[in-house]
Amino acid sequence: MSLRRRLAAALAAILAAVPATAPALESRHFTTTDGVQLHVLEGGPPRAGAIAFVPGWSMPADIWRLQLEALGARYRVAALDPRGQGRSAVAQSGYTLERRAADVREFVAAYPRAVLVGWSLGALESLEMVRAYGEAGIAGLVIVDSSVGEPPTPPAGVFKESLRGNRRRALNEFVRAIFRTPRPESEVTALVAGALQMRLEDSLALLSYPVPRAHWRAAAHGVTAPLLYVVTPQFAEQAANLARNRPGTETVVFERAGHALFVDEPERFNALLDDFARRLLASR
């Protein structure tokens, strides 16, 4: 069956499966091995295969709500608030690639088998988790709109300098820019306020992981589990190169969405993810 037909069938299945009232989502916390309380938003059938979501820089677990509610009818679904974000503790330390990857590992360890979905910075931290800890319990990996070290190199920006100059204004512009379709002002305000919880220097550290682009390329090529790379046009060339250099990689470009493509086009993204997860988790 072609990818287009699979997606159409998956979307129909989602629409048929989602009840009139979305599945209840519950909060839980767990304590990391370095003593930090992290928050998880989860729901869905407890014995079903899991889809685990990791958000991007400064964003909360709740940004995945449209996925949690739609896919929670079929799968166990869970979204992490990384340390310093959302309803997790604003820790005094641990804003390093190694520790954040360990946090992801401890998050997904709660689920015997899961499709791991990482967006932006969360995609890099998910890649690092797989590279550092292996793929035990990982049925598949979904990288959402993040550079994977393939050419071309993304252009350098001045975002870090903007944060130092006027943090609130820079965050307000950042939040608005990640959506192609404008979001309600109340949502923008809440996302900015959440991003301000973390200390400035810690938030900057997350944007400055000291590894070369070749590190991410090697990590992506080293994934042996099924890999789905979903991007906007800014990473379309990287997607083409990854598909060429890592045979078997599935790639999809969202031409008319912003960086938070799963918010701009939730039905399309949910159908794509349901198709991917169904193939990996249905028989388990």
**pLDDT tens digits along 74-115:** 999 999 999 999 999 999 999 999 999 999 999 999 999 999
Instruction: Please give the residue that has the higher pLDDT: either 24 or 19.
Output: 24
Q: What is the pLDDT of residues 191-206, one digit of tens each?
A: 999 999 999 999 999 9
* Residue 29 pLDDT > 90: yes
- Cα torsion angle, 51, 57, 63, 66, sign: negative
DSSP state of 230: E
Q: Classify 179 as helix, strand or coil.
A: coil
The per-residue pLDDT for 5 is 52
* Residue 166 pLDDT > 60: yes
* Residue 284 pLDDT > 90: no
Average pLDDT in the 43-51 region?
A: 92
The per-residue pLDDT for 282 is 75
Give the Cα separation of 239 and 220 in Å (integer).
11
The per-residue pLDDT for 21 is 57
Give, for 116, the enclosing helix (H) or strand (E). strand 114-119
The per-residue pLDDT for 65 is 98
Q: What is the pLDDT of residues 245-268, one digit of tens each?
A: 999 999 999 999 999 999 999 999
- Domain total for the chain? 1
* Residue 208 pLDDT > 50: yes
The per-residue pLDDT for 103 is 98
The per-residue pLDDT for 47 is 85
The per-residue pLDDT for 157 is 87
- Cα torsion angle, 133, 135, 120, 84, sign: negative
Q: How confident is the model at residue 182 (pLDDT cuts 50, 70, 90)?
A: very high
DSSP state of 34: T
Domain that holds residue 160: 3-281
- What CATH number corresponds to the domain at position 84? 3.40.50.1820
Query: Which residues, 6 or more positions from 76, have their beta carbon under 8 angstroms from its beta carbon?
Result: 42, 43, 44, 45, 46, 47, 48, 49, 50, 51, 111
Instruction: Please give the residue that has the higher pLDDT: either 94 or 11.
Output: 94
The per-residue pLDDT for 16 is 43
Q: What is the pLDDT of residues 109-149, one digit of tens each?
A: 999 999 999 999 999 999 999 999 999 999 999 999 999 99
Q: How confident is the model at residue 14 (pLDDT cuts 50, 70, 90)?
A: very low
